[in-house]
Structures are given as C-alpha cells and as structure tokens.
Amino acid sequence: MSLKFHLIINKTLKLKILICFGTRPEAIKMAPICLALKKENIPFKLCVTAQHREMLDQVLSFFDLVPDYDLNVMQPNQSLNMLSSRILSEMDKIFEKESFNIVLVHGDTTTSALVALSAFHRNCKVAHVEAGLRTYNKLSPFPEELNRQLTGRIADIHFSPTKKAAQNLLNENVEESRVFVTGNTVIDALFITLNRIDNGYTNNAIDHLKTTIDFSKKIVLVTGHRRESFGVGFENLCDSILELSKKEAIEIVYPVHLNPNVQDIVYNRLSVVKNIYLIAPLDYPSFVWLMSRANVIISDSGGIQEEAPSLNVPVLVTRETTERDEGIKAKCSFLVGTNSKKIVKKAYEILDNNTSVKLKNPYGDGKASKKIVKFLNDLKNSI
C-alpha cells in the first residue's frame, strides 16, 4: 500500500490510533480490525458511542472487546439531531483528554459521520472503513447516504470494500493514493465466527433455536430496520410474512430490531401466528448459525446482503435501492422493495426451486482487516 499518507501525519507525534463505533453492524465489522491490531501488538484505544446499547454489547462480548471509552449516548427512540449533538459533545471531551492522530470510523451511521466531524474539528486524521458505497439518493437509505458522503468528504484515507466503491470515490475526485480496496471486514467477522462454531462454540440462544424451530421445514429468516420503510413499508412487509405463513411447510423466524418504530408494528401484526417466531435480536454467533440454516432471507440489512453469499443463502432486499449492487448483479440478492406481492412471489420462487447461491462472495475474502492493519503498521513504522 502507498505510504504517501504518512506525509500528512504530524511527524513530531507517535501514531496514536482511536477506533470508534456505536451500532451493532459497525461493531461486527470493526471487531476483526481490533483483533488483528491486538495480534500485531499495535496499540490503539477503543471508543464506543453506544448509539446502540444491548445490540452493541452482544457484539463486544462475543469478540471480547472492552472499550476504553463508552459514551453511552443511546436514548429510547432517539432523534437524529439529539443523538448527533450528544456524540459531538462527548467526543470533544475525549479529544480534549487524549490526543489521537488517526481515528478509524465505519460505514454510514450517525456515529460514523459525527465522530468523523468531531475528529476533523480537532485536527485528527480520519480513516473510513467501508468507504465509497453510494446510491446517490440522499433519501434512500435515509440518513445513511448522506452520512457516508459526509464521512467520505472528511476522510483522509478510504478503505473500500469493492472496486466499484473505490471507483465511486475516484469519480468524486478523491486522490487515488488515498483509496485502498480491501474487501469488507464483515466477511472476516463471519469467518472468525464460523470457525468458532465449527470448533464447538455454542450458547443458550442456539440451543433454544434448535428446540423451538422445526428445521425439517423451509426456513425463512426476516430482519428489517430502515427508517425510510417505517409505516407503509413495514405494513407491507408484515402482509407478505402473513401470506408466506399460510404454508405450513414454512417456518418464519424474525429477530425483531429494538427500534420501537419496528417493534410496535411487527409485534402488533405478527404476534399470534404459530409458524412465525418473533424473537429478540440474536447475538452474532447465533444469528450466523441461523443464517446458515435459512433457505431464504428477507431483509433490508446491509451486512446481511454481504454475509449471505458466503453461506449460499439468497437474500430478498426489501429496499427500493441498494448500494450493494455487486450482489444483485451476481444474483446473490434480489431487490424486491416493500411491495408485498413481489416479496411473496420471489420468496416462493426461491423456496420452490431450492435456489441457493454458489458463487464467490463479491464483498470480500476474509482478509480485509489484515490489509487495513498492515497499512496502519506501515504507517506506524514510517513516522
């Protein structure tokens, strides 16, 4: 990797790395980097905004990560502005207390954008992991498209998961020497987890799933949380799940996101149907275990679109747009929007034909965190 970047680090300082994230998917995708830094004995500090609480803590615990700073900002049904202001003011206290010269942020959450902004205000360089994803529609996903564009404008270094994401940045006139294609670290997290499961890891949640779900039936796994789908979109999703549940040969498992805008509607509409299992968000290894047993996944999740091809499971993407069209092109995933008829038709097609994905995962090979850590190590040694 080019080391031109070292020229813009203040040479009088030692490299002081801060890793910062706040939500479940960021934690899953940053954990492999933290583990690889530890393995290489490269010092760093970990700060969690805790934009998520329970869903974040599940991940920290599985990957054995103990934050140096926990901003504990989550509030029930938080507004984006209040969340943003809490992150900005709490991050300022961290930068006041300790000087870092590079902070790694991930993806497109409010945490990523506001931590990047707070670092910029404090003259700290920003490295953006999962850089360059774009729909160029600032309302879809909302507010994530703008979050990642803002983070991209602030960032000094961009670790892009795919060539397409890197090209988006080059098209936006980001200097080529600052963009590195690494693959997505979520595949590293997935492989670490599968390896532990293969080596005997289990837990109560997995044991419980084994005894409650009839795995001799076809398994439909559902998740959903996008703000742009609150209201009508989620009503339509519930309609489609109710329709699918009419077939007795199907079991539908739905770990429901803790956002109250999701919880209220999903529990109201889907609670009493016998082959629909509404459950709390699963810890990461249990969710990976369940994904690997699913016949189809219906989801608006970014991370799941990336992981599922490695588990051979097709994904129906319940969104109008996706920044992850590598999977759509490779026919690993199918963009169905929130039209209930379309969801049901495509789900039946996959279940009836036993469709499974047998392609190289377009999102990564499990080596992304190694590449990112090599970059940081080279940078450390060069100043």
Q: Among residue numbers 174 through 193, which ones bind ligand UDP (CB under 6 A)?
A: 186
Q: Compute the distance between CA of residue 261 and CA of residue 82 in angstroms, rounded to an integer.
A: 17
Residue 255 identity (one-letter amino acid): P
Nearer to ligand UD1, 178 or 226 (CB): 226
Q: How far is the CB of 281 from ligand UD1 (least distance, A)?
A: 7
User: Which of 144, 145, 228, 251 is flagged as catalytic?
Assistant: 144
Is 248 annotated in the active site? no
The item of ligand UDP, ligand UD1, none sharing an interface with residue 52, based on CB under 5 to 8 Å by kind, is ligand UD1
Q: Among residue numbers 275 through 334, which ones bind ligand UDP (CB under 6 A)?
A: 281-282, 284, 287, 301-304, 307
∠ Cα 323 327 333 (to 5°): 105
Question: Distance between alpha carbon 266 and the CA centroid of its chain, in Å?
Answer: 22
Within 8 A by CB and 6+ apart from 264, the residues are none
Q: Yes or no: say if 70 and 50 are a contact pair by the CB < 8 Å rule.
A: yes
Across the strands, what pairs with 46? 19
Nearer to ligand UD1, 53 or 342 (CB): 53
Helices 260-270 & 232-244 angle (0-180, nearest 10): 40
The item of ligand UD1, ligand UDP, none sharing an interface with residue 76, based on CB under 5 to 8 Å by kind, is ligand UD1
Question: Distance between alpha carbon 290 and the CA centroid of its chain, in Å?
Answer: 17
Is 243 annotated in the active site? no
The item of ligand UD1, ligand UDP, none sharing an interface with residue 284, based on CB under 5 to 8 Å by kind, is ligand UDP
Query: In residues, how long is the chain?
Result: 383
**Residue 194 makes contact with ligand UDP by CB under 6 A:** no
Across the strands, what pairs with 21? 48
Is 226 annotated in the active site? no
Q: Yes or no: say if 280 and 256 are a contact pair by the CB < 8 Å rule.
A: yes
Is 227 annotated in the active site? yes
Nearer to ligand UDP, 24 or 164 (CB): 24
Binding site for ligand UD1 (CB under 6 A): 23-25, 51-56, 74-78, 80, 83, 108-110, 143-144, 225, 258-260
Q: Which residues are catalytic?
A: 108, 130, 144, 225, 227, 257
